[in-house]
Amino acid sequence: MRNKSGLLYQTIINDIKNAISSGKYKPGDKLPTEYELAQIYNVSRITVTRATKELENENLVYKVKGTGTFIKDANDKPASNQFKFISVIIPFKEKWFFDILSGAEDELKKWGYYVSYNCTNYNPKEERELIINLSENNAMGFIIYPSSTFANIDLYSSLIIRNKPIVFVDRTIELIDAPSVTSNNFDAGYNITKLLIDNGHIRIGFVGHNIHLFNSSYDRYKGFCKALIDNGIEINSNYLFDDYIAESGNKEFISIYKNPHSIESAKKVLTSMLSQKPQPTAIMALNDVIAIALVKAAMELGISIPDQLSITGFDNLILQEQLPINLTTVAQHFDKMGAAAAKMLLTKIKQPNEKLKNQVIDTEIIIKDSVKDIRNIEQPN
């Protein structure tokens, strides 16, 4: 008999639970094979796998590779060499990594979970291999900072179908119905641009890199544009530098901006931008790495920051401490993001059918020395 919700796998779960409660199935009893259950319920093997996986997550059954699925004794304690672990997969090794890990680990250890952490170095292939290997080694769930928006969608969907909980951090993946925790990048982009405007800047440039690849980056750019428009400032395409923007506008920008993190590329961007008439007085950089390259390039070109040009960053990286000037930037609370992701993952483990809303964490502007107040300075037309 099918349940009214039409969730066929839930019918299997309910029947097995009832059989355990009634004593029909006793601890150590072997369940029918997945093939046999598929025949009994007239469903696919995928549906049966999802049902038995949920029963396993609820500690009602256990699987023995190559042998089958068995009813678990409720009084049994896990063997000393068995432990519950969650995998945190991040594409970088900067301080953010440890903030996300720390936030997640603090929350997960309250519930007896260990945490494995792995770096993909922004390599989708490495990410894929890690997820497959960790899944085969019984990771109970994943907190993933995706290395790419488009890669590994098939793998993510496979995890969801197999009822393996995942939560994305910093980025959402379109078409993948999994919860995520992100910073409020739109408001952050808006607010850091508004800070420049409040200091008298109306000719403001934007320097990014592949903003169309990640919704977090594109949201910052959208916030930048909205702040200008809300304050009656036209968006000047000559002040915009990004591969994506270039492809829809001035083609020469593509060749200028091959490597956004190199000082040579930054010098070309500054030279081109400051050749405009009138010149911009400020630049919002997509992130601190780009902002640092711009500041170093400005120093080599003899441009004083912030006297001749104000620059803001995004991320509040330790790397900026190497600069002779303290960078005004945006801090993301990655520890809070990690903790929120862990709570969401625990909910998905305990209640697989629970529909969770994405969470957005507010950011904070860190005001330092790279923005000049020019409200009382006459500006050329």
Q: How confident is the model at residue 101 (pLDDT cuts 50, 70, 90)?
A: confident
How confident is the model over 143-163, as a mean pLDDT?
Answer: 90
| Domain 8-71 CATH assignment equals 1.10.10.10 | yes
63: Cβ contacts below 8 Å, ≥ 6 apart: 52, 56, 69, 70
How confident is the model over 253-278, as a mean pLDDT?
Answer: 76
The pLDDT, as a whole number, for residue 368 is 95
In the chain, residues under CATH classification 1.10.10.10 are 8-71
Q: Which residue has the higher pLDDT, 214 or 77?
A: 214
Q: How confident is the model at residue 271 (pLDDT cuts 50, 70, 90)?
A: very high
Q: How far apart, in Å, are the Cα atoms of 84 and each of 141, 244, 261, 346?
A: 10, 43, 40, 12
Judge whether residue 358 has pLDDT over 80: yes
Given a contact cutoff of 8 angstroms between Cβ atoms, the answer to whether 204 and 283 are in contact is yes
| Helix (H/G/I), strand (E/B), else coil: 312 | strand
Q: Right CATH number for 185-332 from 3.40.50.10070, 3.40.50.2300, 3.90.660.10, 3.40.50.261?
A: 3.40.50.2300
Q: How far is CA 76 from its chain centroid? A: 38
The pLDDT, as a whole number, for residue 65 is 60
CA count, 13 A, side-chain hemisphere, 214: 21
In the chain, residues under CATH classification 3.40.50.2300 are 85-183+334-361, 185-332
Q: What is the pLDDT of residues 183-214, one digit of tens each?
A: 999 999 999 999 999 999 999 999 998 888 78
**Could you tell me which CATH number the domain at 85-183+334-361 has?**
3.40.50.2300
Read off the tokens for 174. Answer: 């379109």
The pLDDT, as a whole number, for residue 122 is 85
pTM: 0.73
Given a contact cutoff of 8 angstroms between Cβ atoms, the answer to whether 63 and 52 are in contact is yes
The pLDDT, as a whole number, for residue 96 is 64
